[in-house]
Chains A and B, each alone.
Chain A
């Protein structure tokens, strides 16, 4: 079996057993990036230190030093997360020349576990988008059908894992940015509970919604990455001190008797027919695993997209104020300060970012604040209450991750509302702060991946991962890879 077909846990085992070296492993994936990135555009930059770091790991291993649980494993990091000394652009012209002066907490943790950052992945500018078409560095292509989007905003991370340009990747999810691209690319993506993973070093889009998480082929690999990145960080005031449960250890605990809620509303209107069929098939698998399926209601989630597109732009309008041309960003030519601000931000940001900054600025303005921001915050609380009530009755909530499989490049670029509806099933988890995972189910008849979403109680990532893992024990969908050379699919 070639290295790129192996799952991360197997790669780590083989590295530990001395069957392969970190250098070989990194070399292999660098070669695949070299060969395929021109087709996929999954990476914005590739690390020139990865081989050196791999050699260092190999040497330490040879010297008999004790190494971390990911020693020698290559990993791709979304370009909105700071890696010291590496370009960190957030997909924006504004940060085209920016090299991060520090490691994000999760990068620090991954590095100390021995993981090797091989590159930074493409994304919608400042994570604003659902297709990776809003990247200043060009859109990423879906390896299953290169004329289709990989989803977004973590489209580069999803595409590189699906296309096996990296064994695993890290993404970030503000309204579905891990799960939706995972769904479109046929991989597993976990958005942890808000506060479970430190945001320190994640370039903020909407601080109260952003969360970093793993994007992998299997739930087991996600559990492995979570064992490294999850946990309290004193540098992030919103990170939680809640004990991290050992997801890896609980993966095989039988699901018998677990209560899974299904919201019928989410399986009817506007749903792609095949998505509906495949999700229903997946429900049958969970039944076979001993789960009790129950109907639940989440009445306020129908307002989730509306609330999300107020709260997220409000926070973004403030978070992105620092990109002003004064310090580390792109700076446009100008004759005076005001013109410098205007030109820098006018030229440095793309249209979608500018649109959301304007939206947020407007919604926070005096006279509108109550009608928009406060109202949306109220809706947010009601959505959270819906979940609290639902989780009295069930342990997990199951549904589709997205209403359709991956759409075509350019299909929604002129229709922001259609684009925003791609987030309809994912934004609620961010608003409520709960964890959610997307897992591949049977693809469409034309071979496009479809994703199933499981949502769980806050800090119960272990139950999500356990359910996803046992689903994957029963199904082959996470093991399939797109064929090479990549194909288009009409």
Chain B
């Protein structure tokens, strides 16, 4: 941490706490993100990781902690962890080992969790995020480490019946989690959200996790405290860990709430990081507040020690190189190339990239095909995304292939179809799953030749003398009314051409 922190409230100026404004306080945020890796089987046994199956149906003697059963590492989970580490610029350990984290809990069958203590698979790294304050500015959030561990099961407490009961579902027990820990480099709730969004996008691009937060595939704890300037020094408030935030909104709001709460608490009692142990608080979505869960005396003693049932894993340089070489382009790289090579505005590039690799590929194919990336972006960024949203489809399910879309845009670029007609054609293509050619035919779109256009304009002038007078007397905007009428008479007439011809005829 870059600030010199005063660890005591014995400051003579402590009575001046009321004079400090919340806006002077700096929020210090570190995140611990648990990502469920998208493996078919669990971390140490062959059980399926499928979500939503009947309780305890995805279990075996290993993940239920039967006497004598032993764990065997899932190689795929190691590979996905390395892939994630490389994507987050982490140093990959050449040797990584397993440790037991000992604690009792009914949904922890062995009485310990197999985790990694001092040799995590991924060492220091970083992730650059776009800040909202100044577009184009990025902030580097340092990653401290990322380690693999097994998930615990789920306790279900039924307090509705007369006899309260608790049930345990061990389907989730042993699913692989990668815990990504940041340095306390995050300064605002919005940055925390931006970090998570970017992380989620990366994990999605590299096919490591679908990050479905409803299913608990991405869970986040936030460590929050404040550095408050007081009498030329910085005072740090006690650190609070906010647990199990299961939506980006919860992350953002809980941090905002917690910062304010800490500030008020400090104004009231003046307690600093040296006076109070780390607290665990839970976010309550109903009340939109954090509530105290437990106070840790220093840190809970998990009695970590190397798991004697597993051997250390040596990761060969060649394996890392292989995974590196197979790594897909990351969102940041793609955004950059959309800006520099495809001439998109940064915000537009961000929209396309945020939709996932499928939309990016679709865009690239269309932009390359029609040779006009701006038009491609306008149509995909607006029309296609709107339609996908309405149809609740992914780009892979979208009925218009990139080739067909390219053909459509070529007609628009050539002026054969104006914007409005083009959109009508696209709608028809989507609705009936047909090509642009067929859609044009179905809509009765035909090219209009010059003599037809002349006849049309002459008719319009003859029948709308009042409007023609307005135009002649300088009200140029009135021409729009004529163009509208032209469209009704002949929908195929290009509004641009109609306008040019009318102007010429009316004003000479």
Most-contacted residue by chain B among A101, A104, A326, A328 (CB, 10 A): A326
A179-213 interface code vs B (CB 8 A; 1 in, 0 out): 00000000000000000000111111011100000
Determine whether the beta carbon of A321 is less than 8 Å from that of B308.
no
Contact partner of A82 (CB less than 8 A), chosen from B64, B68, B71, is: B68
Give Cα distance in the complex from A364 to B117, angstroms: 14
Q: A237-B309, A237-B311 are in contact. Are A324 and B68 (CB under 8 A)?
A: no
Interface residues of B in 279-331 (CB under 8 A from A): 301, 303-305, 308-311
Interface residues of A in 234-271 (CB under 8 A from B): 234-238
Determine whether the beta carbon of A238 is less than 8 Å from that of B72.
no
B64-94 interface code vs A (CB 8 A; 1 in, 0 out): 1111111111000000000000000000000
B164 vs chain A, min Cβ distance (A): 11
Give Cα distance in the complex from A373 to B168, angstroms: 34
Give Cα distance in the complex from A203 to B110, angstroms: 13
Determine whether the beta carbon of A90 is less than 8 Å from that of B112.
no
Smallest Cβ-Cβ distance to B61: which chain A residue: A102
A60 vs chain B, min Cβ distance (A): 29
A366 part of interface (Cβ distance < 8 Å): yes
Contact partner of B308 (CB less than 8 A), chosen from A81, A88, A101, A207, is: A207
Determine whether the beta carbon of B100 is less than 8 Å from that of A88.
no
Give Cα distance in the complex from A235 to B73, angstroms: 10
Interface residues of A in 63-117 (CB under 8 A from B): 81-82, 88, 90, 95, 98, 100-102, 104
A9 part of interface (Cβ distance < 8 Å): no
Most-contacted residue by chain A among B69, B70, B102, B301 (CB, 10 A): B70
Determine whether the beta carbon of B72 is less than 8 Å from that of A341.
no
Determine whether the beta carbon of B305 is less than 8 Å from that of A200.
no
B260 vs chain A, min Cβ distance (A): 34
Residues of B within 8 A of A104 (CB): 68
Smallest Cβ-Cβ distance to B64: which chain A residue: A327
Q: A364-B102, A364-B305, A373-B305 are in contact. Are A326 and B68 (CB under 8 A)?
A: no
Determine whether the beta carbon of B309 is less than 8 Å from that of A203.
no
Interface residues of A in 326-353 (CB under 8 A from B): 326-328, 337, 341
Contact partner of B106 (CB less than 8 A), chosen from A95, A203, A326, A369, is: A326
Give Cα distance in the complex from A199 to B70, angstroms: 8
Contact partner of A207 (CB less than 8 A), chosen from B67, B72, B168, B309, is: B309
A315 part of interface (Cβ distance < 8 Å): yes
B45 vs chain A, min Cβ distance (A): 10
Contact partner of A238 (CB less than 8 A), chosen from B110, B301, B305, B309, is: B309
B109 part of interface (Cβ distance < 8 Å): yes
B358 part of interface (Cβ distance < 8 Å): no
Determine whether the beta carbon of A101 is less than 8 Å from that of B66.
yes
Determine whether the beta carbon of A238 is less than 8 Å from that of B112.
no
Determine whether the beta carbon of B102 is less than 8 Å from that of A318.
yes
Q: A237-B309, A237-B311 are in contact. Are A366 and B301 (CB under 8 A)?
A: yes
Determine whether the beta carbon of B73 is less than 8 Å from that of A322.
no
A303 part of interface (Cβ distance < 8 Å): no
Q: A208-B308, A237-B310, A337-B106 are in contact. Are A322 and B70 (CB under 8 A)?
A: no
Determine whether the beta carbon of B68 is less than 8 Å from that of A201.
yes
Q: A208-B308, A237-B71 are in contact. Are A321 and B104 (CB under 8 A)?
A: yes
B28-68 interface code vs A (CB 8 A; 1 in, 0 out): 00000000000000000000000000000000010011111
B111 part of interface (Cβ distance < 8 Å): yes
A365 part of interface (Cβ distance < 8 Å): yes
Determine whether the beta carbon of A200 is less than 8 Å from that of B68.
yes
Contact partner of A318 (CB less than 8 A), chosen from B68, B71, B100, B168, is: B100
Q: A207-B309, A318-B102, A321-B104 are in contact. Are A361 and B303 (CB under 8 A)?
A: yes
Determine whether the beta carbon of B111 is less than 8 Å from that of A324.
yes
Contact partner of B110 (CB less than 8 A), chosen from A101, A202, A322, is: A322
Determine whether the beta carbon of B67 is less than 8 Å from that of A364.
no
Determine whether the beta carbon of B303 is less than 8 Å from that of A100.
no
Interface residues of B in 233-281 (CB under 8 A from A): none
Residues of A within 8 A of B168 (CB): 326
Q: A318-B100, A321-B110, A322-B109 are in contact. Are A88 and B70 (CB under 8 A)?
A: no
A465 part of interface (Cβ distance < 8 Å): no
Give Cα distance in the complex from A337 to B305, angstroms: 26
A409 part of interface (Cβ distance < 8 Å): no
Residues of B within 8 A of A307 (CB): none
Smallest Cβ-Cβ distance to A239: which chain B residue: B70
Determine whether the beta carbon of A235 is less than 8 Å from that of B305.
no
Residues of A within 8 A of B309 (CB): 204, 207, 237-238
Give Cα distance in the complex from A322 to B111, angstroms: 5
Residues of B within 8 A of A200 (CB): 68-70
Give Cα distance in the complex from A434 to B314, angstroms: 24
A15 vs chain B, min Cβ distance (A): 30
Q: A82-B67, A324-B104 are in contact. Are A237 and B305 (CB under 8 A)?
A: no
Give Cα distance in the complex from A177 to B65, angstroms: 25
Determine whether the beta carbon of A318 is less than 8 Å from that of B70.
no
A379 part of interface (Cβ distance < 8 Å): no
Smallest Cβ-Cβ distance to B311: which chain A residue: A237
Q: A238-B309, A365-B303 are in contact. Are A318 and B67 (CB under 8 A)?
A: no
Residues of A within 8 A of B110 (CB): 321-322
Give Cα distance in the complex from A235 to B46, angstroms: 11
Smallest Cβ-Cβ distance to B67: which chain A residue: A203
Determine whether the beta carbon of A88 is less than 8 Å from that of B67.
yes
A215-237 interface code vs B (CB 8 A; 1 in, 0 out): 00000000000000000001111
Most-contacted residue by chain A among B68, B71, B106, B309 (CB, 10 A): B68
Determine whether the beta carbon of A100 is less than 8 Å from that of B310.
no
Residues of B within 8 A of A160 (CB): none
Determine whether the beta carbon of A101 is less than 8 Å from that of B61.
yes
A314 part of interface (Cβ distance < 8 Å): yes
Interface residues of B in 107-150 (CB under 8 A from A): 109-112
Interface residues of A in 290-342 (CB under 8 A from B): 314-315, 317-318, 320-322, 324, 326-328, 337, 341
Give Cα distance in the complex from A174 to B102, angstroms: 22
Smallest Cβ-Cβ distance to B71: which chain A residue: A237
Q: A208-B308, A238-B309 are in contact. Are A203 and B68 (CB under 8 A)?
A: yes
Give Cα distance in the complex from A344 to B311, angstroms: 32
Residues of B within 8 A of A365 (CB): 301, 303
B312 vs chain A, min Cβ distance (A): 10
A241 vs chain B, min Cβ distance (A): 12
Residues of B within 8 A of A320 (CB): 111
Most-contacted residue by chain A among B67, B110, B303, B311 (CB, 10 A): B67
Smallest Cβ-Cβ distance to A360: which chain B residue: B303
Residues of B within 8 A of A98 (CB): 67
Given contacts A200-B68, A238-B309, A327-B109, 17 further A-B contacts (CB under 8 A): A200-B69, A200-B70, A201-B69, A203-B68, A206-B308, A234-B72, A237-B71, A237-B310, A238-B308, A238-B310, A318-B111, A321-B104, A321-B110, A322-B110, A341-B104, A364-B102, A373-B305
Sorted from nearest, which 8 A-B pairs have the closest CB atoms? A321-B111, A208-B308, A207-B308, A364-B303, A201-B68, A203-B67, A322-B65, A82-B68
Some 30 contacts from A to B, beta carbons below 8 A apart, are A88-B68, A102-B66, A104-B68, A199-B70, A200-B69, A201-B68, A203-B67, A203-B68, A206-B308, A207-B308, A207-B309, A208-B308, A236-B72, A238-B308, A238-B310, A318-B112, A318-B305, A320-B111, A321-B111, A322-B67, A322-B109, A322-B111, A324-B104, A324-B106, A327-B64, A361-B303, A365-B301, A365-B303, A366-B303, A369-B305
